[in-house]
Structure 1
Amino acid sequence: MALVTTVAVSFVLAAAFGYCADRLRLPPLVGYLVAGIMIGPFTPGIAADSAMAAQLAEIGVILLMFGVGLHFSASDLIAVRGVAIPGAIGQIVLATLLGMGLTTLWGWSLGAGLVFGLSISVASTVVLLKALEERNLVNSPNGRVAIGWLIVEDLAMVLALVLLPILAQVLGDGEAVVSHAANSHATPASGGMDVMLTIAMTVVKLAAFAALAIILGPRIVPWILTLVARTGSRELFTLTVLATAVGLAFGSAAIFGVSFALGAFFAGVIMSESHLSHRAAADSLPLQNAFSVLFFVSVGMLFNPHILIQQPLNVLAIVALITLGKSIIAIGVVLALRYPMSMALTVGASLGQIGEFSFIVAGLGISLGLLSQEGHDLILAGAILSITLNPLLFWAAGKLKAMLGKTAPTFVATHGASKLAALSRELEIVKARVEEKESQQQLKKQQLVSMFPLFSQVDEHALEELLLLFRPDSAEPGDKVIRVGERGDAMYFISAGTVEVRLEAGSVPLEAGAFFGEMALLSGGLRTADVIAVDFCQFLKLDRRDFNMFMARHPRLRTVVSDMARERKQMNVVRETNGGASE
C-alpha cells in the first residue's frame, strides 16, 4: 500500500498546510513544501516512501512542463522581446556567476557551483502568476513583460536540462576522462574529442526531435484532438491530451535521448497551436494541479531542516542573493535597456524568488553527481524562504516607487516613456488579435443559434462540439441533395440558398435557417421525398452517426427536433390531402 499511503498522506497534509499558507497570505506552494518536510525522513512522525514520491514527482515535472508549453504564447514573447529576451539572458548569466562566486568561497566544485547558480537564477512561474493576479497586473505591460521574462527563463532552463548531462562529463568527470585516456595510451585531447562527439550527437538528436515536433506535430496533434473531440466524450478528450503529453515525453526520452521535461514542453507547444488548446488546458488542469502538488511535496521530503541550524549564515547568504541580488540585477538590466522604473521594480520583485525549475535543476544535479545533498538542502531552504518573503518584495517595490515619484519625479516620468508607449501599442495589437480570434469563434456560435434557433437548447460547450461535428457541403441549382427511397445518411442545415422538397402533390421551398433530412434519421426508415437545390446552396451536414450521438447526449434538443419532425409530417399529410406537400 506504499503508493496509496504516499498519495493519501501527501494530499491530506498538502491541503491542510496549503490552506494555512493561504490564510497567512503566502503562496500555497509554501504549504506543500512544508507538508513534504513533515512526512520526510528528516522529521519525526509519518515517513512516506521517498522513492515512490520521487516517481510521482517525475509525472509532476512532465505535467508542469506540459502546462508551460501549453500556455506558451509566441506572440506575447515577440511583443516583449526587446526587454524579455536580453533581460532574462543577462539576468540568468549574472545570477549564475554570482551563485558560482558564492560557492567558490565555500570551496565547492565548478560543477556544483554551476548547478547552484542555474538553480537560483530562475524564478517560479507559479509564484509569479499568483503575485500578479493578486495585484491585477497580469494584463498590464509590466505584468506581460514579467511573464515573458519568465518564459525566456523557462526556455533557457529547458536547454540547461538537455545540456547538463553532457556538461557533467566535463565538470564532474573531467579527471576521469584524462585518466582513461592515459590508461588506453590515448591523449587527453582524444578524451576531449569523445566529449565533443557526445555533445554533437546530442545536439543532432535534439535538432531531429525539434524538427519532427515542429513540422509534424502541428499537423498531427490538432487533427487527433479534433477527431477525438468530435466523439463528444470529455473523458476520452482529456485522456488524449494526457496521453499526448506523457507519450511524447516518454517517446522523446526513449528515442531521442532528450529529457522528459523537454518532450512534455514540446507537447504543450504543439497542442497550443490547436483551436482546442483552451479546452485541452481546462481539461488537463486538475491533473496538472494534483501532480504538481505531489511534485512540491516530494521536493519538501528531500529537505533537511537541520541545515537551517547547521549553516544559518549560508542560508542567509542564499536568501539575500535570491531576494536582493537577483532583484537588483533585474532592475539594473531593465533600466539599462531604457525601460521605465515601474517596470524595473515589478520585474525585480517578480524575480526575487525561486521555484519549480530550481528544484528540477537541483534534482538533476544530484542525479548526475554534480551537486551534494547539502547543496540541495541549501537551495530548498532558499526557495522556501524566498517564496515566503516574496510578498514583502512587492510591498517594498511599491513603497520605493512612491518614494522615487516624490524625490525624482522627472526621472520616473520620462525614463523609458517612449519605449513603454511603443511596447503598449504592440501589446494592444497582440491583445486585439487574440480577442478577434476568440470573438470569431464566439460569433460562429452566435450565428449558429441566430440562424438555427433550435440550438438555443444547448450550452456553449455543445455549440463548440457542433461546430466540430458539422461537415460543410454545397449544391448547385438542379442538384438532387436527397433522393426518395434512399437510406437516411445525414441531416442538412441550410446556411445559404434555397431548396425545394418535392412530393407527389407538389413542392415546398426551404430557405437559409431551415433544415431537412431529420425524419429518416429519427425513424430509421428511408427518405420520403426528393430535395433539390434551386439556388447555389451551402449546407452544414450532420452525419447519421454524429446526429445519433449528439442527440443522445442532448435529449432536450432531440425532443425539440422530434416534435418539429412530427409537426412537419402532419403538415405533409394535410398538404397531400389538400393537394400540397411539405418536407
Structure 2
Amino acid sequence: MTDFLLLAFIFLVAGVIAVPIATRLGLGSVLGYLIAGIVISPALSLLGVDVISIQHFAEFGVVMMLFLVGLELEPKVLWQMRARLMGLGGGQIGLTTLAVMGVAMIFGQPWTVALAIGLVLAMSSTAIVLQTLNEKGLMKSDGGQSSFSVLLSQDIAVIPMLALLPLLAMPELADLAGHGADAGHGAGGHGEAAHGDAEHHDDGHGGGDHGSGMSLVAGLATWQVALVNVFAIAAVVLGGIYLTRPMFRFIAGAQLRELFTAAALLMVIGIALLMTLVGLSPALGTFLAGVVLANSEYRHELESDIDPFKGLLLGLFFMTVGAGINFALLFENLALIVGLTLGLIALKAGVLFALSIVFGPRGSDRWLMALGLAQAGEFGFVLLSFATANAVLPTEIADRLLLVVALSMLLTPALFILYDRVIAPRFDQGEEREADEMPEDSKIIIAGMGRIGGIVDRMLSAAGYSTTVIDYSSRQLDNMRVFGVQAYFGDATRPDLLHAAGIDNAKLLVIAIDGQEQITELVRYVKANHPHVHVMARAVNRHHVYELWAAGCRDIIRETYDSSVRMGRSAFEALGIDPHHAQQMADAFTEHDREVMISVADVYDPDIPATENTAYVERVREVRGPIQDRLNARMSAIRGLTEDS
C-alpha cells in the first residue's frame, strides 16, 4: 500500500508542478506531462518501477477519449467523413508504410522486417494529437477534422495489422521469440524484464490473446474469428441503441450522481473488455458506442462524468512516455536515433501534405494536419512488442524503434508550437501577432468587425457610445485602421480575452463573428458566467435562432432577415400597393414571424433530433396551420384596403 501511495504521489506532484509551468510558457499541457515524466524518470528507476505496465493502464485514457469524441459525432456526420477516412486515412497508412519500407530495404533490411517497420511507424499518436487539438480549440477546424479522420482510420487499421504481422515471422528468430523478455523491449530502463513479455503487451488495443490472458477467439478458424468480431460490434451498436436509455433512466431514478458515474465507467470498461476478448480494438468499440449515443439525452451527463478520468489517465500516459525514454541507449546511438526520428517526421509530413492536396484541407489547415500527425504513436509500442514476440523483428531493431516512437511523440508539441507561432500567422497576416491590449472599462463589446459588426459599431459611435471591437482577422483590422477605425486583434471566444476586454463590467455584448458553432458557444459561455451582460447575437439561419434561444440568448438578429423583409415590401410596392399599406403588410409579417420564432424556440431542444422531438413537430404543424391562416387573413385585409382606396 505504501509503495502504491508513494508512486501516485510522485506522479501527481510532477504533473501538478510541470503542467501549469508549461502552460504558462505556452508549451501546452502535453509537453508539460512529457517533461514531468522525464524529470521523475531517475526516481522511478531507483524504485524499480515498471513504467511500461503503468503505461498500459494509462492507455485506457485513449479509450475514454475516443468514446467522448464519438459522442460529438452523429452517424450521419461519420458517413460524411467516409471520403477522408478512405482517401486521407487509407492513403496515409498505405503510402507511409511503403515509403518507410523502401527506406528500410535501402538500409539492407529484409522485406518482411521492412514491412513490419513501415506498419509500426505509419501510426500516429491519437492521445497527443486529439488532446492538443481540443486544448487549442482546433478540433472543429478543417485541419482538425482531417486529422481525426486519419487517426480513426489508423485505429481501424490496427486490426488487420495485428492479423498480418504473424505472417511475416522470420524462421531464424522463432527460436529466440521466447527470450524477448530478457532483451528489454521497453522504451525505458525501468523493469526491463517485463518490457518484452508478450503477455505484458496485450494492452487491450487488439490482437487477441498473445499471452496467458482470456480470449473468446483463441483456437478459432479465421472465418469464425471474423464472425465473432461482427457479433461483438453488432452487440455494441444495438446495445447503445436499445439498452443504454432504459439503463440510464433506471439509474437516474436513484438520484445519486456517483451511481451514474459508476454506470458510465461500467459501460466504457465493459465495451473495452468485450472488444479485447474478441481481439478487436477497445478504442474502436468505445468510439462506435459514443457515435451511437451522440443523439442521446444522456450525452452531456456522460461527457461530464467520463472527462475527469480521461484527463487524468491521459496525463499519466504522457508522463510514462517521458519516463520510458532509455537515455543510455539514446546517447549511445544519438545521431542515428535523432536522424531516424527527424527523417520519419519529415517523411510523414510530406506524405500527409501531398495527400491533402487531393483529399484534404487547404491553407494553414493543411500544415496543421501534416505537422500534427507527423509523429509515431502509442500503437507503435503495441505493434513493436507484438512483432517482437512473434519473431517478426529482431530485438535490437525493436529497441531503437521504440526510442524513435517515444522521441517523435516527445517532439510533437514542438511541431504544434511551430504551427501556432510560425505557419498559422503567415496565412493570416504574414507575420506573428499577439492579441492587442484592450481597455478594461468598456461597457460595450463587439465581437467581429465584418459587415454586421462594422455597421453596428458605426451606429453606436455616431450616437456617442464608446465600444471595444474585437476581430481575429489581422488583415481586416489593418484595412479598417487605414481609415481611422479603432479595433483590437484577438479571439473573442477565449474567456481570458473577454476578461481583458472588460466583460465583467460590460452592459452589452454584440456577437457578430463568423461560424455558427463559435457564436453559439460564446453565447452559452457568457450567459452562464456573466448573466448580467445583455447578449445580442447574429444568427446565420432559422435553426441557429433556436440554438441561440436554447443557449439563453433573447436578442437574436438573423443576418439576412431585415433585408429580405425590405425586399418583400418593395415587391408589394412594385405590384401597385401604396407605400403606407406595403409597410403595414411588412409589419404584419414581422410580427407573425416573431410570434412563430418564439413559439417554436420554446420547444426546440438542440440535443434531440428535430424529427424525434414530438413537441417541436406539433408546434411546427400548428405554425403551418392556424397561425399561418391568421397571417393570411390579415395580409388579405390590408391588401383589400389599398385596392378599395
TM superposition score category, shorter chain reference? 0.5 to 0.7
Which of 356, 360, 380 lines up with 2:406 in the alignment?
A: 380
What is the rounded CA distance, in whole Å, between the counterparts of 1:197 and 1:436 in structure 2?
Answer: 56
1:333 equivalent to 2:334? Answer: no
Which residue is 1:398 aligned to? 424
Matched, 1:306 2:303: no
Tell whether the 8 Å contact from 1:65 to 1:262 is kept in structure 2 after alignment: yes
State the one-letter code of the partner of 2:409.
A
- Asked if the contact 1:349/1:397 (under 8 Å) is kept, the reply is no
SS in 2 for 1:306: helix
1:257–1:320: structure 2 CA closer, same or farther, 3 Å change rule? Answer: closer
Deviation at 1:287, TM superposition (A): 0.9
| 1:12 shift after superposition | 1.6
Displacement of 1:219 in angstroms is 1.0
- How many angstroms does 1:376 deviate by? 1.0
Give me the whole-angstrom Cα distance separating, in 1, the residues matched to 2:546 and 2:378: 32
Residue pair 1:17, 1:35 contacting (<8 A) in 2 also: yes
- State whether structure 2 residue 269 is matched by structure 1 residue 246: yes
SS in 1 for 2:369: helix
State the one-letter code of the partner of 1:398.
Answer: A
Residue 316, structure 1, aligned to residue 338, structure 2: yes
CA distance in 2, matches of 1:361, 1:229: 41
* Alignment-derived partner of residue 455 in structure 2: none
Match of residue 512 from structure 1: none
> One-letter code of the match for 2:7?
T
**Rg (Cα) greater in structure:** 1
1:226 to 243, 249, 254: 249
1:61-114 superposed Cα distances (whole Å, 9 cap, x missing partner): 443443343344444444455455412221222222222233334455656544
Q: 1:232 to 1:403 in 2, by over 3 A?
A: closer
**Deviation of residue 332 (structure 1)?**
1.8
Indicate the percent of aligned positions where both proteins have the same amino acid: 23
- Is 1:285 aligned to residue 285 of structure 2? no
1:426 and 1:89 map into 2 onto residues whose CA distance is 31
Q: Normalising by structure 2, what TM-score? A: 0.54
Deviation of residue 205 (structure 1)? 2.0
**Structure 2 vs 1, CA of residues 329 and 50 (structure 1 numbering), >3 Å: closer, same or farther?**
closer
Q: Secondary structure at the match of 1:248?
A: helix
Q: Output the CA distance in 2 between the equivalents of 1:252 and 1:433.
A: 42
Question: Are 1:250 and 1:263, in contact at CA under 8 Å, matched by a contact in 2?
Answer: no
User: Do 2:88 and 2:149's aligned partners in 1 also have CA atoms closer than 8 Å?
Assistant: no
Superposed displacement of residue 275, structure 1: 2.1
Q: After the TM superposition, which residues 350-361 of structure 1 pair with which residues of structure 2 at under 5 Å, given as runs? A: 350-361=372-383
**Alignment partner of 2:160: what SS?**
helix
CA contact (8 A) 1:39 1:45 kept: no
Aligned equivalents of 1:333 and 1:86: distance in 2? 8
CA distance in 2, matches of 1:385, 1:57: 20
Question: Structure 2 CA distance, aligned partners of 1:375 and 1:362?
Answer: 8
More divergent stretch after superposition (64-73 vs 224-233): 64-73
Offset, 1:236: 0.8
- Relative distance call for 1:76 and 1:273 in structure 2 (3 A) is same
Measure the CA separation in 1 of the matches of 2:112 and 2:38: 27
Counterpart of 2:416, as a letter, is N
In 1, the alpha carbon distance for the partners of 2:377 and 2:12 equals: 20
Report if the CA contact (8 A) 1:33-1:384 is conserved.
yes
8 Å Cα contact 2:356/2:366 also seen in 1: yes
Code of the aligned partner of 2:155: V
The alignment's C-alpha RMSD in Å is: 4.5
1:455-476 deviation line (CA, Å, top 9, x unaligned):
xxxxxxxxx9xx9xxxx9xxxx
Tell whether the 8 Å contact from 2:371 to 2:415 is kept in structure 1 after alignment.
no
CA distance in 2 between partners of 1:177 and 1:366 (Å): 10
CA shift at 1:166, angstroms?
A: 2.1
1:131-146 alignment, distance < 5 Å: 132=133, 137-139=138-140, 143=141, 145-146=142-143
- CA-to-partner distance for each residue in 1:447-493, whole Å, 9 max, x for gaps? xxxxxxxxxxxxxxxxx9xx9xxxx9xxxxxxxxxxxxxxxxxxxxx
Deviation of 1:298 after TM superposition, in Å, equals: 2.8
1:93-143 residue CA offsets vs partner (Å, 9 max, x unmatched): 22222222333344556565445434443444554456556765444xxx1
1:492 aligns to what? none
Unaligned 5+ residue runs, structure 1? 179-194, 406-423, 444-463, 473-494, 497-583
Aligned to 2:10: 9
- The answer to whether the Cα contact below 8 Å between 2:124 and 2:373 also exists between their aligned partners in 1 is yes
Give the structure 1 partner of residue 226 of structure 2: 203
Distance 1:427 1:84 in 2: 23
User: In 2 relative to 1, CA 109–289 (structure 1 residues): closer, same or farther, beyond 3 Å?
Assistant: farther
User: CA offsets, 1:293-319, max 9 Å, x none?
Assistant: 222223333321234322233333333
Q: CA offsets, 1:187-229, max 9 Å, x none?
A: xxxxxxxx99844333222212112222333111232123322
How many residues align? The count is 411
Alignment partner, residue 202 of structure 2? none
Q: CA deviation at 1:238?
A: 0.9
- Structure 2 residue runs of 5 or longer lacking an equivalent are 176-217, 432-513, 519-539, 553-604, 620-645
Between 1:393-402 and 1:309-318, the stretch displaced more is: 393-402
Structure 1 equivalent of residue 366 of structure 2: 344
Instruction: Tell me which amino acid in the other structure corresponds to 2:88.
Output: G
Which residue does the alignment assign to 1:166?
163
Q: C-alpha separation between the residues in 2 aligned to 1:219 and 1:336?
A: 40
Match of 1:475 in 2: none
Change (3 A) 1:72 1:220: same
- Assess if the C-alpha contact under 8 Å between 1:323 and 1:386 holds in 2: no
Residue in 2 that maps onto 1:571: none
